[in-house]
Structure 1
Amino acid sequence: MKRPEQERVEEGHGEGPEARARLPVAPSMGPTLAEQRWPRSVEPVDGRVVFISGMAVLLALAAGLVAQGLGALIHLFTNIAFFGRLSTENLSPADHALGPWVIGVPVVGAVIVGFMARYGSRAIRGHGIPEAMEQVLYNQSRIPPRMTFLKPLSAAVAIGTGGPFGAEGPIIATGGALGSLLGQLLRVTADERKALLAAGAAAGMAATFGAPVSAVLLAVELLLFEYRPRSVIPVALATATATGVRMAFVGGAPAFAMPDLVAPSGSALAFYIVMGAVVGLASMGATKAVYAIEDAFEKLPLHWMWWPALGAVVVGAVGYFSPRTLGVGYTNIEDILSGRFVGAAMLLFCVMKFVSWSIALGSGTSGGTLAPLFTLGGGLGSGLGLLATRVAPQLGVDVRIAALVGMAAIFAGASRALLASVVFAFETTRQPMGLLPLLGGCSAAYLVSSLLMRHSIMTEKLARRGGRVLTEYGVDPLSQALVKDHAARQVVTLASERTLEDVRAWLGSGAEGTRHQGFPVVAPDGALLGVVTRRDLLDGAATDGRRVGELLKRPLAVAFEDSSLREAADLMVEEGVGRLPVVCRDAPTRVVGIVTRSDLLSAHRQRLENARRVEQGLRPTRQLAPRASHAG
């Protein structure tokens, strides 16, 4: 019967670096057991994903109810501020009878929001999505719990008193805050907390517009910064659940009803694509204008708490001359898309809306950007479409499709959320004939915006604070490269019984292999015992016949031939080493190679060549062979 020291624990997959295999070691050669550690095999989906998905569904139920509650709260404040009654009836501020006194209503609301920001949380300022992005990127998705009630309350006050914002931004921010709070109450990883935050935010958007697929895409493009099953599945289940909550309250009708569209002609499709590029320029202008106004407020010799009140003076004055600019204005979007609101009056309204919204947002009050952008883009698209019908009627342009493309294209250009913009316009109107124009127009806007503007309206604020936000996602090249293709096969090993005097003399000789920085140590029978570094060998005195095996103090970490370089790199980080002996799974004590940090860097050569090397077509393809690395 074998002693425990002679038994090797069978290998397991997905057990992490804590998994071990026990190897026999002579008492004079260091620890009584060398605990072998190997790369962790991460499964795309496991039991944790089921748990997080269940939490996401519960979170979505709460977010759906919060969305309905915020809508009712906005209606309550609207009724109080503009009609002097306690009611949650959905009335438009444009129907008020206050006359010039209407100018003061947004100012009162802005003063309240300013006090809430100063004495509650400054994070309630803005439209919510950049703030959520910041917490994901720089604070492990930890949002202060007080944001779960301060953000919706401040937004309800701002919008209910005439602020020209949509409710979706605050609802997205509130849903994200709920997800973050849940993730802080539970024992979860930072990645799982991020998934819960994104699930809550996406559920808020789905509960507002009944657009679950675009909400998932928005989460992927602006919050998750990845596309992995373990994060997408909880978000998708959350958006489906939140949409179900919305249907239970308001039914399944599209958010923006419009007459059925017909398939566009080729010439009309070309126009929509060109128009999308023009709207992309407009999205760039809108983004720069908002941040220029924000910069102007920063220069005022006045505490930032009072800035929203100054912006609200403009909101009230504009609202006096153009009452439709006050409040959420979802009906304005529907009227533009359906063709009921067109022509010069509509264009003038859009100009007034832009002035009111940009100044209010730049002043730092609480509100959303999606609805104002949709209004502006829809109005611009409608105007360009109407112009095309009069100047070139042979193109067959439909003003309603032009408005739909404009609505989505301005968001695609301003936010760089291309797929979310296309699918959102489809889900909120249920018009399949608009999909092709939407794809062309939004892609053109996305191209123009990416060429001419370094940051989006969502990331500019983070960039100004010194952050760097990239929204380009690709498969990690290290995850696709295998250790066996990049590890060195000629390994210089040291016998455990060899004396330090002998090894130091060999290192000083300059012979082949002496310049390596690390050496696997093997037993007399060739079994791998551990790794020593050049520093280990040269530090201290080499007296009394000390042997190499006595320097082995840390558990042995190895990589398998079929491990990915990503798994090997993760193990290097976890163990704090710069190299890993490579072994076979069926013989984990036999060294067949060694992989080092330089090998990880060399694995990126193919990616760089693919991105930078311009080749002539119709030529034989040259395969880039893995670089022969050294064992140091």
Structure 2
Amino acid sequence: MTASRAASERPAHLGDFTLGPRVLLIALLALPVGGASAVAAFLLLRLIGLITNLVFYQRVATGLIAPGAVHHPGWLVLAAPVGGGLVVGLMARYGSEKIRGHGMPEAIEAILIGGSRVAPRVAVLKPVSAAVSIGTGGPFGAEGPIIMTGGAVGSILAQGLKLSADERKTLLVAGAAGGMAATFNAPLASVLLAVELLLFEWRPRSLIPVATAVSIATICRGLMSGTGAIFPVEHVVRPGAGEQLLTLIPGLTGGLLAVGATGLVYLAEDAFSRLRLHWMWWPAVGGLVIGLGGLVEPRALGVGYDVIDQLLTGRAGLSLILGILVVKTLIWSLSLGSGTSGGVLAPVFMIGGALGALEGTVLPHVFPGFWAMAGLAAVVGGVMRSPFTGVVFTLELTRAWSVLPALLIASVSAYALSALVLKRSVLTEKIARRGLHLTREYSTDPLEALFAHEVMTRNPVERPADLTVPGESAGARDGAALRDGFGPPGNGRPALPGRAVVFADHTLREVANILAHHNVTRALVVHRRAPHRLAGLITLDQLLHARRRDLHEELHRERLLPTRRSARAVKVSEAAPGAGDSSGAPDEKVGAEYK
């Protein structure tokens, strides 16, 4: 562990903007959010079941069932999705346009530019519109709407309290992840999805409340719907080394399928944008595409959990596998571009499972459903650009824990191919088309790697007249305030002195936070143990030193182990008179007084 890393793990102070008591408060607020999101997920699934039973089976029941379990008249298969799309379009036009789409991009947009604010009516209209869309045959999942609904629950609670935008974001994501956990009984995958898709950080201040909400939602889910796996797989055996390596096949083909499906989604979106129709009518046109596909393969309609179960347990026939792989991919991709309401995960599960099941007909047999599991993990990793979520989701859905290494190969290889071919995923492309920039790469902040004393100007010749060391003119009170961090102006504290001062062992990230918080570009540096003693001056320009070092480590390439020729050259140079170290490397020694 480096010195700077060890220092950054000391108890946080105000310079880091990460306060322990606030984390506990937000975690406490996440408890009711998790429970409410679980109830919302339960009600949404029951509403989808009710509409599906009414439309396709003409009975009153709330159990989840997909269309196609019995023969339906052709006119019903064709007309039901069109009617559902028309209802969704009307709800979006006259209710809220925010119900359009598959939930995750809308939640991301609320976080990025909306201050994590979600309108209360979205919490009602989004699940209802999704239930109408899916219940009338839409080939979508319930998880996208529940992400938006659970997120709305957390956001509405946060809006009623005096919280920061980051704290509202945490509660929004806590509700979204809680809804996911309650839908699929997959708590760890839900937390990973929150980190990989929604939080844009991995920090205690957000991870602890999200995990709290997910835990409560999972407990509530167990009380309402049971604790068993959604798609339990039996007769699981650990695949051998050869079979594990062969998961590269569903991995790479799953990556290609992810690229193709993502391209189809935005090809359809571009085509709908050119229609001479108001966007209110687009979901009905998408419904026509769905109905035509349903005439070919009725089992491709609806949420399709029963079909996923058949694929993952090895009970799906070849005709069903081919029908799902071709028809589901086409109608899901093309209708999603119409802006209708519905999620992407369940269709991706089904498409990935069908791909793996098809390849399993020619690959070595491991156990029923093994290759479908590999395909599912691969397509999730490729479409969502969330490889760990793809692996853990598959494991929690099936409880087949012994196949983890094989799924990791499949998911990461699909992710790698998708990342190489596509600039953005099916989620982030939608965000980019709205004029927003979103990075999905996570790395350590270079400003965390250096201390203030490593870049500051030591013993400045001239001290700025507007900066004074606490205690020199502001009194001991400001010295005590500096030892505790820094506080807002007022209470006798001067505007610049005492606020434009940092400690020598502050990381550059903490220095940047202090400068930004008080809108200054320079600060005096003092010793933590002797806050009245001036150590140096640090400016905004000097913070770039960390970025320069980070760029050097990324771009500079050198051979460290010498070749025979270079070794001989070194010996000759060392034998020459006056030879010495001319590397010009900077002195990295850190003064003990700053440790």
TM-score normalised according to structure 1 size: 0.82
Which position in structure 2 is the counterpart of 1:419? 388
Which position in structure 1 is the counterpart of 2:521? 578
SS where residue 588 of structure 1 aligns? coil
Which position in structure 2 is the counterpart of 1:162? 137
Determine the C-alpha separation between the residues in 1 that align with 2:117 and 2:81. Answer: 32
Query: Unaligned regions of 5+ residues in structure 2, if any?
Result: 1-10, 476-493, 563-580, 591-595
Which position in structure 2 is the counterpart of 1:74? 48
Residue 320 (str. 1) matches residue 295 (str. 2):
yes
Give the counterpart of 2:228 among 238, 244, 253.
253
State whether residues 491 and 594 of structure 1, in contact with CA within 8 Å, keep that contact through their aligned partners in structure 2. yes
Determine the C-alpha separation between the residues in 1 that align with 2:366 and 2:553. Answer: 41
State whether residues 521 and 528 of structure 1, in contact with CA within 8 Å, keep that contact through their aligned partners in structure 2. no
Give the counterpart of 1:407 among 373, 376, 380.
376
SS where residue 589 of structure 1 aligns? coil
Determine the C-alpha separation between the residues in 1 that align with 2:543 and 2:13. Answer: 23
Structure 2 counterpart of 1:423, which letter? V
Residue 133 (str. 1) matches residue 76 (str. 2):
no
Q: How big is the shift at 1:522?
A: 6.3
Which position in structure 2 is the counterpart of 1:144? 119
Q: Deviations over 1:145-181 (max 9, x none)?
A: 2110010000011111111111111111111111111
Query: Unaligned regions of 5+ residues in structure 1, if any?
Result: 1-12, 17-39, 390-395, 495-517, 531-551
Residue 65 (str. 1) matches residue 44 (str. 2):
no
Instruction: Report the RMSD for the aligned CA atoms in angstroms.
Output: 2.4
Q: Cα–Cα, structure 1 residues 257 and 522, in superposed 2: closer, same or farther, change >3 Å?
A: closer
Which position in structure 2 is the counterpart of 1:311? 286
Q: How big is the shift at 1:239?
A: 1.0
Give the counterpart of 2:162 among 179, 187, 191.
187
Which position in structure 2 is the counterpart of 1:23? none
Question: Matches of residues 438-587 of structure 1 in structure 2 within 5 Å?
Answer: 438-493=407-462, 518=464, 527=472, 554-556=496-498, 557-587=500-530
State whether residues 276 and 441 of structure 1, in contact with CA within 8 Å, keep that contact through their aligned partners in structure 2. yes
Which position in structure 2 is the counterpart of 1:547? none
How many residues are treated as equivalent by the alignment?
A: 541
SS where residue 369 of structure 2 aligns? helix
Which position in structure 2 is the counterpart of 1:375? 350
Give the counterpart of 1:294 among 257, 269, 278.
269
Q: Cα–Cα, structure 1 residues 79 and 312, in superposed 2: closer, same or farther, change >3 Å?
A: same
Question: Matches of residues 224-373 of structure 1 in structure 2 within 5 Å?
Answer: 224-373=199-348
Q: Which 4+ residue blocks in structure 1 deviate beyond 6 angstroms?
A: 619-623
Q: What percent identity do the matched residue pairs reach?
A: 44
Determine the C-alpha separation between the residues in 1 that align with 2:404 and 2:305. Answer: 21
Q: Cα–Cα, structure 1 residues 448 and 456, in superposed 2: closer, same or farther, change >3 Å?
A: same
Determine the C-alpha separation between the residues in 2 that align with 1:87 and 1:14. Answer: 54
Q: Deviations over 1:494-517 (max 9, x none)?
A: 5xxxxxxxxxxxxxxxxxxxxxxx
Determine the C-alpha separation between the residues in 2 that align with 1:268 and 1:309. Answer: 45
Q: How big is the shift at 1:98?
A: 4.0
SS where residue 202 of structure 2 aligns? coil
Determine the C-alpha separation between the residues in 1 that align with 2:300 and 2:207. Answer: 37
SS where residue 603 of structure 1 aligns? helix
Which position in structure 2 is the counterpart of 1:52? 26
SS where residue 270 of structure 2 aligns? helix
Q: Deviations over 1:220-252 (max 9, x none)?
A: 010000000110011111111111111112211
TM-score normalised according to structure 2 size: 0.86
State whether residues 526 and 590 of structure 1, in contact with CA within 8 Å, keep that contact through their aligned partners in structure 2. no
Which position in structure 2 is the counterpart of 1:115? 90
Which position in structure 2 is the counterpart of 1:6? none
Determine the C-alpha separation between the residues in 1 that align with 2:513 and 2:587. Answer: 24
State whether residues 294 and 301 of structure 2, in contact with CA within 8 Å, keep that contact through their aligned partners in structure 1. yes
Determine the C-alpha separation between the residues in 2 that align with 1:241 and 1:317. Answer: 42
Q: Cα–Cα, structure 1 residues 41 and 318, in superposed 2: closer, same or farther, change >3 Å?
A: closer
Determine the C-alpha separation between the residues in 2 that align with 1:273 and 1:231. Answer: 35
State whether residues 90 and 280 of structure 2, in contact with CA within 8 Å, keep that contact through their aligned partners in structure 1. yes
Determine the C-alpha separation between the residues in 1 that align with 2:584 and 2:45. Answer: 61
Determine the C-alpha separation between the residues in 1 that align with 2:334 and 2:252. Answer: 25
Q: How big is the shift at 1:214?
A: 0.6
Q: How big is the shift at 1:553?
A: 7.0
State whether residues 127 and 367 of structure 1, in contact with CA within 8 Å, keep that contact through their aligned partners in structure 2. yes
Which position in structure 1 is the counterpart of 2:182? 207
State whether residues 268 and 335 of structure 2, in contact with CA within 8 Å, keep that contact through their aligned partners in structure 1. no
Q: Cα–Cα, structure 1 residues 41 and 284, in superposed 2: closer, same or farther, change >3 Å?
A: closer
State whether residues 520 and 529 of structure 1, in contact with CA within 8 Å, keep that contact through their aligned partners in structure 2. no
SS where residue 531 of structure 2 aligns? strand
